[in-house]
Structure 1
Amino acid sequence: MIKASGWPLAPELLTAPDADFNARLEGGLVPLHWACAEGKAGVLKYMLERGANVLDVADGAVSVAGRTPLYMAVHSGSFQVVMMVIDRLKALGAPPPDEALKKRLAHVFRASHADAKNRLQQTLKDWERKAPASAPAPTAKGA
C-alpha cells in the first residue's frame, strides 16, 4: 500500500515498527501532513491506527506553516480523508473548526452527494455540541 501511494521517500520510513508519522523528514516533509494533503485515505488510516497525531500543526516551509491536518485534508478534496481526520479530532476532544474552515468545508463539498453533505453537516453539529468550550478551534489559516 505504501509503495503504491506515491510516497516520495523510502517506504521504510512509514513501515518501520517505530515509524513516527509526525517526524520532520527531508525538506520538512511530514508523513501525516503529506497523507492528508494528498488525500491518501489508506495511508492515513494506517498512520492513525499506529498513533499519528492529528493535532500536529505544520511548520517549516512557508507554504504549509501553521496548517493543520484538517486544513490539509480539506484542501485535498477527499471526503474520506476529511472525515477520518474529523473523527479522530472529535475522539481526542479537540475543538470544532472555526467559521472560516466550516465555510471552506461547505464550499469544497458543495457538489458532493447529498448523503455526504448531510453527514458532514451532522458531524460538525455533533462536534460543536460535544466540544469543550475553552480550547481554541482549528482555523482556515492560509485559506
Structure 2
Amino acid sequence: MSDWKTQQMIKASGWPEGPEAFAIGADFSRATAGGLVPLHWACGHGKTGLVRHMIAHGANVADTTADGQSMLELALNAQDFQTLMLLIDQLKARGGPLPSAQIQERLTQSFRGSHPNSRNRIRQTLHDWKRIARHA
C-alpha cells in the first residue's frame, strides 16, 4: 500500500489523531499522546482496512484492552462482520485459543438475523476453529 493510499485510508476512517500512529513499525497496541490505542480504536469502530493494515505490519490480534476485552470483543461490539472475520481468521491461523463460550454465543446470536452467508460463515468458522484446536 502506498503512502498516499495509507493516508487516504486513515483520513477516511475518521481517526481523530495524526497518521503517525499507523506508520510501519509503530506499536499499534500502545496508547498515543491523545490516549487512543490504534488497534483497539480500529477494532472497536469496525475499521477493517486499518485493522488489515496493522495486521500486515505486525499488530498483535491477541491483544487485550486495559479492562481485558479482546480485539474480537471490540469488533463484535462494533457489529462489523468484515473486521470480525479478519480477526477470527488471523487468530485461527496463528493457533489462538477459541473465544469463550460467551463470545461464541454472542458471535452466533449477533449475526443470526443477517444474511445467510454471514450467519453460515460464522458457524462454519467457529466449527473449523474448534476442530483445529482439538488437533493442536
TM-score by length of 2: 0.88
Separation in 2 of the partners of 1:132 and 1:34?
32
Change (3 A) 1:109 1:6: same
1:95 and 1:132 in contact (8 A); partners too: no
TM-score by length of 1: 0.83
Are 2:59 and 1:52 aligned? Answer: yes
Q: Which residue of 2 aligns with 1:93?
A: 95
Separation in 2 of the partners of 1:26 and 1:83?
30
Are 2:30 and 1:30 aligned? Answer: no
Higher relative contact order (CA 8 A, sep 6+): 1
Q: Which residue of 2 aligns with 1:5?
A: 13
Q: Name the structure where helix makes up a greater proportion of residues.
A: 2
1:72-97 CA deviation, whole Å, 9 max, x = no partner?
01111000000000001001101111
**Identity in percent:** 48
1:38-97 CA deviation, whole Å, 9 max, x = no partner?
0001111111111100111111xxxxx110000001111000000000001001101111
Change (3 A) 1:8 1:86: same
1:91-141 CA deviation, whole Å, 9 max, x = no partner?
11011111111111122111211011111100000001111689xxxxxxx
Question: Which letter maps to 1:3?
Answer: K
More displaced 10-residue stretch of structure 1: 3-12 or 72-81: 3-12
Count residues with an aligned counterpart.
128
1:37 and 1:76 in contact (8 A); partners too: yes
CA RMSD of aligned residues (A): 1.6
Separation in 1 of the partners of 2:101 and 2:44?
21
- Segments of structure 2 that go 5 or more residues without pairing to the other structure are 1-8
